[in-house]
Amino acid sequence: MSLQQEVDLLRKIPMFAKIEPAKLKLLAFTSERLSYSDGDVLFRQGEAGDAAFVIISGQAEISIATDEGPLVVARLSDHDFVGEIAILCDVPRTATVTAVTNLEALCISKDLFFRMVKEFPEIAIEVMRELAHRLENTNARLREVAGGRSR
């Protein structure tokens, strides 16, 4: 994949969609491209968060540990962004992400992510917007679950 293709990929991710192409080119150039096979773990729940990932191609599952074993809570595919909670909140990983197909990803280190946010404040605004959308979606799902239990 060329640098321009990686920039085009980043533009498809909501939190990067409005960022200038030159800034995305810098992000793509300084990110690491990684390949995973079916069953490979991108990161595990409880680990230190040192990077976020952009799924270029393939699929992965997000699971959390429960007393009954791992519980799959979401599925990731092309253009999804994952791993940002641990680097933004400076907390251990909140879930495990496992490839369920061959998978290609851009790995954005914590240092690079924060450098980009510092140098380009519009990235921080878009990150906040995206996280607010995710929080609202989570709240909506919780309301559905709570509504189902009260019946």
DSSP string computed for 102-140: -EEEEEEEHHHHHHHHHH-HHHHHHHHHHHHHHHHHHHH
Task: Evaluate whether 112 touches 28 at the Cβ level (below 8 Å).
Answer: no
Helix spans in 2-120 (H): 3-11, 21-30, 84-89, 110-119
Helix, strand or coil for residue 81? strand
Decide the pairing of beta strands 51-57 and 103-109: antiparallel
Average pLDDT, the chain: 89
Token pair of 26, please?
């810098």
What pLDDT sits at residue 64?
94
Specify the number of domains making up the chain: 1
What pLDDT sits at residue 149?
65
Give the 3-state secondary structure percentages of the chain, helix then strand then coil, rounded to 5.
45, 30, 25
Q: Which residues of the chain have pLDDT under 70?
A: 149-151
Digit-coded pLDDT (tens) for 117-150:
888 888 888 888 888 888 898 888 888 888 876 5
What pLDDT sits at residue 38?
98
What pLDDT sits at residue 87?
86
Domain range for 9 is 3-149
Buried b (16+ CB within 10 A) or exposed e, 1-23: eeeeebbebbeebebbeebeeeb
Task: Output the pTM of the full model.
Answer: 0.82
Question: What CATH number has the domain bearing residue 76?
Answer: 2.60.120.10
What pLDDT sits at residue 150?
59
What pLDDT sits at residue 33?
92
Token pair of 128, please?
């906040």
What pLDDT sits at residue 124?
84
Amino acid letter for position 108 = I
Q: What percent of the chain has pLDDT over 70?
A: 98
